[in-house]
Amino acid sequence: MSLIHRLKIEKIVAILRHVPAVKMKNTVQALHEGGINILEVTMNSEGALDSIHQLRNSFNKEDIVVGAGTVLNLQMAKEAVSAGSQFLISPNLDLSVIEYAVEHEIDIWPGVMTPTEMVNAWSAGAKAIKLFPAGFLGPGFITDIKAPLEHIPIIATGGITLENQQKYFKAGATAVGLGGKLVNKEMIADNNFEDLKNLAAKFVDAVPRESGIA
């Protein structure tokens, strides 16, 4: 199964930002047990490359997909792929990063905000685009943008919560990126991984499975 098809089915990307390295494996295990298996380790986290490498070697690649987030430039993309990243996500549109990812057959989901950026990213070879900040733009923006650009999968990221995520799916989002609302820092700090698993399961249960699968 291709990664983009898996994204369309599972619909959630967990954003692991500033998760301590010693807690990373337990955090990912809890998310996995809760039903979330597509994981983004942000490159601005301490020890991000080591964490990506550790996770790739600790979990079956069929169970857990590990990518790098906050990939701002070509050098960061190269480092992430060398560490074992299976996909790249950025908050910005850098065509050199897309070109590198396509050349190395790595999925790239760049951050965009405007229709022009979306089309440029898609034309350059991105398999999906990250709409950021989605919370600022709102579900209505996705509804409007999907009218002319219905062929481009959108990952809504920024400001997505358990209470509002269904609105983004109904508006046409293929998937959502979830940071602190899912990857709860207090639960991780207190080693409450059972609670983290249960929280992940709530987000998974709130996903409308009939939407966006193609």
91 CB-side CA count, 13 A: 10
Q: For residue range 143-188, list pLDDT tens digits in order.
A: 999 999 999 999 999 999 999 999 999 999 999 999 999 999 999 9
Distance between CA atoms of residues 23 and 64, nearest Å: 17
Phi, psi of 111 (to 5 degrees): -80, 130
Q: What predicted TM-score, i.e. pTM, was given to this entire model?
A: 0.95
Q: Which of 11, 127, 130, 197 is catalytic?
A: 130
Task: Provide the residue type at 199 as one letter.
Answer: L
Catalytic residue among 40, 117, 127, 167: 40
Known catalytic residue: 33?
no
Beta bridge partners of 12: 176
Residues 39-95: tens digit of each pLDDT = 999 999 999 999 999 999 999 988 999 999 999 999 999 999 999 999 999 999 999
Q: Which helix (H) or strand (E) holds 38?
A: strand 38-42
Q: Residue 214: what pLDDT?
A: 40
Which two three-digit tokens encode residue 160?
Answer: 């997505």
Between CA 154 and CA 39 the distance in angstroms is 17
163 is catalytic: no
Mean pLDDT calculated for residue range 94-103: 98
> Which helix (H) or strand (E) is 175 found in, with range?
strand 175-178
Q: Are 142 and 172 in contact (CB under 8 A)?
A: yes
Q: What is the pLDDT of the chain when averaged over all its residues? A: 96
